[in-house]
Structure 1
Amino acid sequence: MATIAALATTVALVATGCAAATPGDDAGSEGDGATEALTIAFLPKQLNNPYTDVVLSGGKAGTDEIGGEYSVVGPLEASASSQVSFINTLTQQGTKVIVIAANDPDAVGPALEEARAAGAKIVAFDSDTNPDYRDVFISQVVSKDVALIQVEQIAEQIGGSGEIAILSATANATNQNEWIKFIEEELASNPDYADITLVAKVYGDDDDAKSFQEAQGLLSAYPNLKGIISPTTVGIAATARYLSTTDYKGKVALVGLGLPNEMREFVKDGTVKEFALWDPAQLGYVAAFAGQALVDGTITGAVGDTFMAGELGEKEVGEGGIVIVGPPTRFNADNIDDYDF
C-alpha cells in the first residue's frame, strides 16, 4: 500500500541494540491501572539492505498503528549464526514479540525456543525458520508462484532455449532455497522449458560487492550463458550494474526479484526488460499485526485462525502456520514509474 511504503525512507535502524521496554519496572503490575507496553522487535537477515529498509518501514507503520513499541536489531552481514546473540538479548529484555527473517532455519532454533519459554511470541517473516521455532510465518506470496514467474520471464526473454544460471543470496536462506527448488522442478518437468539448461547456482550472500563479482564470474565461466535469475534484490541490482557497463547488455537476460527504485535506471537503459516483486512494506506491516494477535490471544497460529491487519484487512493462517500477504507484480518499462519503493 502506498501509505505503508511511503515510510521506507524514515525508518531508523539500530545495529547493536534495541529500544525495548523496561521489563524490570512495575508499569504493568496489577493494581496501578497501567497497561504494559507491547514491545515488537524486528530482526531482519541483515541491516543496511534496501529491501530490508522497505520491509521495516511497514513494520514500523503497523507497530505505530497498534500503539506498540517498535525496535530493530540485527547483524550487518547475513550469516547462519549472526542472529543468535540478538535473540538472546531480546529474551533478556522481556520483548513480547520477536519478528525474525531467518538466515538459517535451524541455527536460530535453540535461541528462539528460549525466547518462547520466556513468554515471547515468534513471528517469522520473509525467510522462515523451522516451523517448530515460531508461531506463524508471514510470507510474501505462495513460494511456487514466485518461482514460476521468474521461470516464465527468463524463458520469454531468451526465446525458450539456452543456458541460464541462478545468482542467489546466502546458501542457507530459507526463502531463496524454496524458490530455487521450485525453479529447478519447473525446468525439469515442464516440456515448455526442455531446451533451457541450468548450468550454475552461485551465492552473493546479499552483499553488493560479492554479488557483482559472482555475476562477473558466471559470465566468464559460461561464455554461452543467455540469462541469469537473481531472486534477491541485492543480487539483481548488482548484476544489472555489471551488465549495464559491458557488451553483455541487451544480450544476456536478467530477471529476478528487485526494488523498482533500484532497478528503474536499468529498465530504462535496456539492461533489464522485466523483473518481479511484491510490496515489501506489507510484510512488516502484517507481521506487526500478527504479533499483536498472538499476544492478545486472537490467534494461536492454528490453521483457519484470522486476524485484522489494519488497512490490509483480514488475514488467515494457512497450512503450516503460513500467512500469505499478496501476489507478485511484474515490473517493466510500461509500469515501473507507477511505483516508489
Structure 2
Amino acid sequence: MTLRLRAPRRLVAVASAGALALSLAACGGTTKDSSDDSGSKAAAGAGKADPNAPLKKGLKIAFLPKQVNNPYETIVDNAGIAAAKEYGGSAKEVGPSDASASSQVSYINTLIQQRHDAILIAANDQNAVCGPLKQAMAKKIKVVSYDSDTAPECRNVFINQASSEEIGRSEVKLLADQIGGKGDIAILSATANATNQNTWIKFMQDELKKPEYSGMKLVKIAYGDDDDQKSFQQTQGLLQAYPNLKGIISPTTVGIAAAARYIDGSKYKGKVTLTGLGTPDQMRKFIKDGTVKSFELWDPKNLGYLASYAAAALSSGQITGKQGETFKAGKLGERTIGANGEVILGPPTVFDAKNIDQYHF
C-alpha cells in the first residue's frame, strides 16, 4: 500500500513477511545471513495442519511495518494488536522510522532473540529481509507478510489487501475515466524497491497497452519514498517537467495526500487529475474542494485484523500456509489460503463525493 495514514491511502491490499520495514520501532541486533540455512525452507512448511486445533493462549506476536511513523501502517497495526486481545494473545508494533531496504533487519533479529511466536512484516524490500526471516522460521517462529510481500520462501503466509492485478488495472481505469482516456500521465510511487508498489505498477503498465488506452502515455514514474515532503516536491517536479501532464496516479497514502496538497494550492487545480490509494479521513478535504474526484483503498483495520488472526492460526497449528487450507478470522469469517500462500482481504472501495462521509479511517 505501501500507504500512510497521515493522509489515507487508497484501497487496495496486505503485507509482507520480509518487507515489513514500513513502520515499527524496536531495538537492534545483528544476525548472520541465513539465506543458505538448510532448515529454513523446511521450517516454512513443516508439520501437518489441524484446522480443529484451538488457538493457543498467550501468543506473542509483533508487527513490523515499513515505518512506524506511517499513518496508514499505524491503523493496520493497531487493529492487529487489538485483534490479538480477542484470542488471548499479546501484540506490539516495532520498526524503523525510514523505509530503506535494510532498515527492518535489526528489528527482525531482535524479535527472534525475544522469542516471539510470530513476526508480521510489511516489507520495504522483498529480498533484503529474507536472511533473518528464514532464520526466524528455522526457529519455528511464524512469518506473515502483509500489505507488501517478501519473497515467498521467506514467509508462511501473505495477507494481501486486494488482488494486486485488480488494484493496478483499476487505478488506470479510474484515471482514464476522468481524463477521457487521453493525455500524458505519471505515477508517483513510494520507494523504488517496494514490493506492492512495483507489482501494482507492473499491472498498470500492462493495462496501458490495451487499445482503449492508446491515447494515454506514461511519461514518468517518480518516487517520493513514502515521505510527505519529498512526495510534495516530486509532484511539483512532475508538473514543471511535463507541462502537458493530464493525470497522476499515486498508489500510496503518503504520496496521494502530498500530491493533493500541492495541486490544491497551485495553478494546476482543476487541470491535472489525481487518483490513487488513500484513506477517506486523509482525502476528505480534497474530495470536497474538487482537487480529487475519486480514489481507492481497502479498510486498513480489516487488513491488520486478518493478518493477526492468520498469525495466530499458524502459531496454533491450524494452518501451515499451504494452498486450500482454511482458518477462522474472527468477525471476518473463514478465509482460504490461495496460491503461493496468499490470502486476499477483498476488492478495494472507490471513494468519491457521494460516499466519502460514510467512511472514517
Structure 1 residue 110 and structure 2 residue 120: aligned?
Answer: no
Decide which of 295, 299, 303 is 2:323's aligned counterpart. 303
SS in 1 for 2:82: helix
Distance (Å, rounded) in 1 between the aligned partners of 2:57 and 2:84: 15
Contact map agreement 1:55 1:283 (CA 8 A) in 2:
yes
**1:222 is matched with which residue?**
242
Structure 2 counterparts to residues 283-294 of structure 1, below 5 A: 283-294=303-314
Structure 2 counterparts to residues 227-246 of structure 1, below 5 A: 227-246=247-266
Identity %: 59
Normalized against structure 2, the TM-score is what?
A: 0.85
**1:15 is matched with which residue?**
25
Task: Give the C-alpha shift of residue 61 in structure 1.
Answer: 2.1
| Structure 2 unaligned residues grouped into runs of 5+ | 1-7, 9-22, 29-55
Q: What do the CA deviations read for 1:196-230 (whole angstroms, capped 9, x no partner)?
A: 00000010000000000000000010000000000
Distance (Å, rounded) in 2 between the aligned partners of 1:14 and 1:77: 9
Task: Give the C-alpha shift of residue 157 in structure 1.
Answer: 1.0
Distance (Å, rounded) in 2 between the aligned partners of 1:71 and 1:166: 34
Structure 2 counterparts to residues 1-341 of structure 1, below 5 A: 15-17=25-27, 37-188=58-209, 190-341=210-361
Normalized against structure 1, the TM-score is what?
A: 0.90
Q: Which runs of 4+ in 1 moved over 6 A?
A: none
Pairwise CA RMSD of aligned residues? Answer: 1.6
Task: Give the C-alpha shift of residue 159 in structure 1.
Answer: 0.9
SS in 2 for 1:261: helix
| Structure 1 unaligned residues grouped into runs of 5+ | 1-7, 19-34
SS in 2 for 1:149: helix
Distance (Å, rounded) in 2 between the aligned partners of 1:127 and 1:101: 5
Distance (Å, rounded) in 1 between the aligned partners of 2:57 and 2:295: 44
SS in 2 for 1:79: coil
Task: Give the C-alpha shift of residue 36 in structure 1.
Answer: 7.0
The structure whose RCO (Cα within 8 Å, separation 6+) is larger is 2
Distance (Å, rounded) in 2 between the aligned partners of 1:198 and 1:71: 41
Contact map agreement 1:14 1:71 (CA 8 A) in 2:
no
**1:26 is matched with which residue?**
none
Task: Give the C-alpha shift of residue 15 in structure 1.
Answer: 2.4
How many residue pairs were aligned?
314
Distance (Å, rounded) in 2 between the aligned partners of 1:37 and 1:311: 20
SS in 1 for 2:304: helix
